Structure 1
Amino acid sequence: MKNALIVIDVQESFRRRPLWEAVSNPDIVDQVNRLVAAARERGELVVWVLHNEPGTGDVFDAASGFVRLMDGLEPREGEPVIVKTSLNSFTTTNLHQTLTRNGVGKLTVCGIRTEQCCETTTRVAFDLGYEVDFVVDATATFPIPRRDAPADRSVAEIVADPSTMQAADVVERTVFVLDGRFATIRTVDEVTGVPVGAVG
């Protein structure tokens, strides 16, 4: 069964938001690059996904110039770069067709946000019949304020609020709901077979 690596929304838009200072995984580019290198070495398809919210004037609006991969990530010629407008990577794109055309039946998922676009893509992929490895330490997310929290608080205030779901708890929740149901939870070391810092 052919595998494809799906890199979801690791884009500059996120770094332009104040909440980036509370990101769960500031080294996500390094982790993603390890997965990309391993996938290329095995001859697997690498698919890059970006999120666009056209007409919003936000940092996720392509007109802002920030709907681009984070510095340090470089697609190779022939690797699809897909732009979505939905939370999952399938509904508003040709991702399913691209994977089918390449004979892919298994996916390795990584990216931003753990519980949002990455988890949602994983759930849809499972429903479409794909096997999915969810590489938890190559995802990143942010604290989630309670739904009735004031919208104008600083990042420090959000993080300090005991009713905020902290980023580590968000990741743990995603692990609990996906593992054994929609995906197999994996680590970068497991997928690449090379522990970080190991000398080849």
Structure 2
Amino acid sequence: MSKQALIIIDIQNDYFPGGKWTLDGADAAADNAARLLEAARKRGDLVVHVRHEFESADAPFFAPDSKGAAIHEKVLPKEGEPVVLKHKVNAFRDTPLKSTLDQHGVDKLTIVGSMSHMCIDAATRAAADYGYDVTVAHDACATLPLDFDGKQVPAADVHASAMAALAFAYAKVVKTDDLLGN
């Protein structure tokens, strides 16, 4: 029998209005992540919270022990839910994430969080490479506009491009309502 987990990546205060690195759609994505969190808890699925902290106090965001690096109130962990601290983009790199999933016999993952084109992309690809059956709730993820070669790429395009690439070969990419059966 398949055992699944919800992985909530980097839904942290600095990504919200008033934070140091505000993302487009952070509130809406966190609201959808909270809905998935509630459903996962009701089902008894493993919930793993991943929190990014840079190792230097002069980091542009997620400085060690800062309010900005704290998990946002919309998706706070409950007692007993693992919280994985990471210092790199990939949530599996140099963390106990894989061993935590394996200890619980998890083979199916739903991934949500921020940023779509960075940490969500890296964790999803790594999870697929490790052999997990991966789903990404695309409307429970957020990102920001980027500049490349003198061109500004709107956040919606950055997000769509990241999700399209993941859907091509790494994960099922679906809406929160589809996962919740709405």
Query: Is TM (by shorter chain) over 0.5?
Result: yes
Secondary structure at the counterpart of residue 145 of structure 1: strand
Which stretches in structure 1 are left out of the alignment for 5+ residues?
Answer: 150-162, 195-200
Moved more, 106-115 or 166-175: 166-175
Q: Deviations over 1:129-175 (max 9, x none)?
A: 1010011000000000125x6xxxxxxxxxxxxx2111111111112
Aligned to 1:67: 69
| 1:61 match: secondary structure | coil
What displacement does 1:102 show?
A: 0.1
Dislocated runs of 4+, deviation >6 Å: none
Which structure has the larger Rg? Answer: 1
5+ long unaligned stretches in structure 2: none
Shift of 1:74: 2.1
Name the structure 1 match of 2:179.
Answer: 191
Other structure's SS at 2:94 match: coil
What residue in structure 2 maps to residue 138 of structure 1? 140
Match of 2:154 in 1: 166
1:77 is the counterpart of 2:84: no
Of 117, 120, 133, 1:118 maps to 120
Q: How does 1:1-200 map to 2 (within 5 A)?
A: 1-15=2-16, 16-17=19-20, 20=22, 23-58=24-59, 59-146=61-148, 163-194=151-182
CA deviation after TM superposition for structure 1 residue 77, in Å: 1.4
Kindly tell me the number of residue pairs found equivalent between the two proteins.
Answer: 178
What TM-score comes out, normalization by structure 2 length? 0.92
> 1:72 corresponds to which letter in structure 2?
K
Identical counterparts, % of pairs: 35
Q: CA RMSD in A?
A: 1.5
1:74-101: per-residue Cα shift (whole Å, max 9, x none)?
Answer: 2111110111011011012100000000
1:158 corresponds in structure 2 to none
1:184 is aligned with what amino acid? K
Alignment-derived partner of residue 152 in structure 1: none
